[in-house]
Chains A and B, each alone.
Chain A
Amino acid sequence: QVQLQESGPGLVKPSQTLSLTCTVSGGSISSGSYFWSWIRQPAGKGLEWIGRIYNSGSTSYNPSLKSRVTISVDTSKNQFSLRLSSVTAADTAVYFCARVVARAFDQWGQGALVTVSS
Chain B
Amino acid sequence: QSVLTQPPSVSGAPGQRVTISCTGSSSNIGAGYDVHWYQQVPGTAPKLLIYLNNNRPSGVPDRFSASKSATSASLVISGLQAEDEADYFCQSYDISLSGLYVFGTGTKVTVL
Give A contacts to B, CB under 8 Å.
37, 46-49, 52, 60, 62-64, 96, 100-106, 108-111
Which B residues from 7 to 52 make CB contacts under 8 A with A? 33-34, 36, 38, 44-48, 51-52
Residues of A within 8 A of B45 (CB): 96, 108-111
- The closest CB in chain B to the CB of A60 belongs to B100
Roughly how many angstroms separate A110 CA and B91 CA in the complex, as a whole number? 19
Determine chain A's interface SS by DSSP, over half rule.
strand
A63 with B99: CB separation less than 8 A: yes
Residues of B within 8 A of A110 (CB): 44-45
Taken residue by residue from 82 to 108, chain B's Cβ proximity to chain A (1 for < 8 Å, 0 otherwise) reads as 000000010111000111111111100
B52 with A49: CB separation less than 8 A: no
The smallest C-beta distance from A58 to any residue of chain B, in angstroms, reads: 13
Roughly how many angstroms separate A52 CA and B52 CA in the complex, as a whole number? 19
A108 with B46: CB separation less than 8 A: yes
B89 with A106: CB separation less than 8 A: no
Contact with A108, one of B36, B47, B98, B99 (Cβ below 8 angstroms): B47
Contact with A64, one of B1, B36, B51, B91 (Cβ below 8 angstroms): B1
The smallest C-beta distance from B102 to any residue of chain A, in angstroms, reads: 7
Given A108-B46, A110-B44, does the pair A103, B89 have CB atoms closer than 8 Å? Answer: no
Q: List 6 A-B contacts (CB under 8 A).
A: A47-B91, A48-B1, A62-B99, A64-B99, A102-B51, A104-B36
User: At the interface, yes or no: B2 with Cβ under 8 Å from chain A?
Assistant: yes
The smallest C-beta distance from B106 to any residue of chain A, in angstroms, reads: 5
The smallest C-beta distance from A70 to any residue of chain B, in angstroms, reads: 16
Roughly how many angstroms separate A82 CA and B57 CA in the complex, as a whole number? 28
Residues of B within 8 A of A101 (CB): 51
